[in-house]
Amino acid sequence: MSCWEVIADYGLRSLGIGERLLPRDDFTLCKQVVLIGSGMIWNIYFGALALVTGFFLATAVALGKAARNPVARKLSTWFIFVFRGSPLFIQFFFAYFAFLSLKGVSPIFDPFTAAWLGALIVLFLNTAAYSGEIFYGALQAIPRGDLEAADAYGFTGWARFRRITWPTLLRLAWPAYTNEAIFLFHATTLVYFSGFPAWRQKGDALYYANYFADKTFNPFVPYPILAGYFILLTLVIIGIFGLVNRRLNRHLPQAARGKIRFRPNLLR
């Protein structure tokens, strides 16, 4: 069985396309690389969607936390506290069992117990809380002069936010936000270890790496493969976010532009 056949059989296995059974014997390097790579589809799916949707909620939460209205402020503060103060792992478990209980109430909740929706919602809320805190910090750090200049030019309300506050907020928050995006992609590996079942063995990269480690009793091959994929993914994220960073800072003199550096990564 050549490696091309393996790619045809297992390349999209994590989506349920191709071979039905996972390899049982003869765990070649090619099979491990292809199947773990196939699992990366789910990591990218969870990470990308949660990041894009979470971005908007995060902006709202940051503005809420800085708002004068006490209700909005309390709500945002508590939202951030709950999701940043507890482990993502426990959040996954709680959400899964909560959705399972709701399933008994109404069949509408059926898809929520599947990872593709249920876990996505948890990741969305989680990243919104973490990024919300980052954006809130940036909002507090906007130079007073910028806002005074906006007032002097007669900017008010939405135009002031859209033209002055928001771009500056993003510019200041961007390095930290890049880090958050990298965390988020790393956090997606928790999904299939925290209650959400991998239906028909359609799992993410770590799920397959763990499968191979269990079968071959040799952790020294699948986990480094997984590590390689994630380092690659991290570099891609840094590349994309670096481009955005360049655009956000394009009005600044060359020397003042902050470069995004690869900073220490911690799990949550």
Partner 1 sequence: MFSYCADPETLDGLTWLSCYLTTGKHMAFYGAFGTVLLLLAITAPTALAFGFGGASAARSSLAPLRWVGKAYISIVRGVPDIAFFLFFVIALDQGFEWLRHQALCPGWDQPVRQGNDFVVCQAAKLPLSSAPQWIHEVYGFFLAVLTFAIVFGAFAANVLYGAMRAVPRAQLETAEAYGMSQRQCFWRILVPQMWVYALPGLSNLWMVLIKATPLLFLLGVEDIVYWARELGGTKTPQFTDYPHGDWRMWYFLALLVFYLAFTRVSELVLERIMARLNHGQATSGGDAQRTTA
* Residue ranges that bind partner 1, judged by CB under 8 A: 25, 27, 81-82, 85-91, 93-94, 97-98, 100-101, 186-187, 189-190, 193, 206, 209-210, 213, 215-220, 223, 226-227, 230-231, 234, 262, 264-268
C-alpha to C-alpha distance for 268 and 265, rounded to whole angstroms: 10
Residue with tokens 């103060």: 85
Of 158 and 217, the one with the shorter C-beta distance to partner 1 is 217
Amino acid at 140: Q
Tokens representing 41 are: 């589809």
Of 251 and 263, the one with the shorter C-beta distance to partner 1 is 263
C-alpha to C-alpha distance for 136 and 220, rounded to whole angstroms: 42
Beta strands in 172-238 (DSSP E): none
Of 111 and 219, the one with the shorter C-beta distance to partner 1 is 219
State the maximum Cα–Cα separation within the chain, in Å, rounded to a whole number.
73
Of 83 and 174, the one with the shorter C-beta distance to partner 1 is 83
The nearest distance, CB 141 to partner 1, in angstroms, is 14
Of 77 and 249, the one with the shorter C-beta distance to partner 1 is 77
Burial of 128 (0-12, 13-18, 19+ CB in 10 A): buried
Cβ contact 218:118 at 8 Å: no
The nearest distance, CB 46 to partner 1, in angstroms, is 12
The nearest distance, CB 227 to partner 1, in angstroms, is 4
The nearest distance, CB 248 to partner 1, in angstroms, is 24
Helix (H, G, I), strand (E, B) or coil at 219: coil
The nearest distance, CB 130 to partner 1, in angstroms, is 12
